[in-house]
Amino acid sequence: GTLFEPTVSLVTQVNMDHIEHLHSMLSYWKQPISASIFIPGEGSPKEGQKEDWKRLYIQKKLSRMKFPPGSNIFAVYAQSLQQEYHQNFLRNLAFSSSLDDYVLLLDAGFLPSPGFLKAFQETVFHYEDTGKDLSKVAFVVPVFQMVKELPLPNSKDELRALVTGEDPGAISFNILLFFDIDGGLKREIFNSTNPLSCLKVRCCPWFVC
């Protein structure tokens, strides 16, 4: 029979302060995107002015982005300054709006590689040819970080060249640790080939391939 390309939407969540991450993701993803934006609460806002400037800020930022057809963006306003960023709630809200066959769950700041969609669709075709039921299957994708200002790889061969070269342009990791320091959350990511080298999370983009 005729094989139909499985549709995939990107699902993510982001704090208002990091909304620019959505713009970066859109540069690499042309399929529908579902995103929840968390807007922190005010300390002691004046009546009637609680969220006006934030609403205008969000609208201005989003108006500059070109979202693919079928995208859904949610603004979630905290009720108080103490209300925390609930990642699971925000992700599930965005997830619930997707009508595609599959969803790609990514934290904001992670980028899909240029060839990701095609490679994933080919993987689905492969399993469908074997008659495997994929209704309860979750695919896990590896994550890498660019350590140089180079284009993201388009293929597995390009990725291999970046990672295994004498002067690597990308690295992988297998340990993600969270430390509670002075009441705050600090994230440290260690290179799997050199556990003592700590990488700065924001120096170059993370991407999935």
CA–CA gap between residue 201 and residue 108 (Å, rounded): 12
pLDDT per position as a tens digit, 152-204: 888 888 888 888 888 888 887 554 444 444 444 444 433 333 332 223 333 34
How large is the average pLDDT for residues 89-113? Answer: 91
Q: Extract the tokens encoding 66.
A: 């070109």
Site of tokens 């002067």: 167
Helices (H), the chain: 20-26, 52-63, 87-96, 116-129, 156-164
Residue spans per domain, the chain: 1-135, 142-209
CA–CA gap between residue 4 and residue 138 (Å, rounded): 19
pLDDT per position as a tens digit, 3-43: 578 899 999 999 988 899 999 999 999 999 999 999 887 65
CA–CA gap between residue 65 and residue 129 (Å, rounded): 38
Q: For the chain, what is the mean pLDDT? A: 77
CA–CA gap between residue 73 and residue 33 (Å, rounded): 8
Q: 187 or 132: which carries more pLDDT confidence?
A: 132
Return the pLDDT at 128: 84
The SS3 of residue 88 is helix
CA distances from 154 to 53, 74, 112, 167 (A): 40, 31, 10, 19
CA–CA gap between residue 171 and residue 146 (Å, rounded): 7
Return the pLDDT at 80: 66
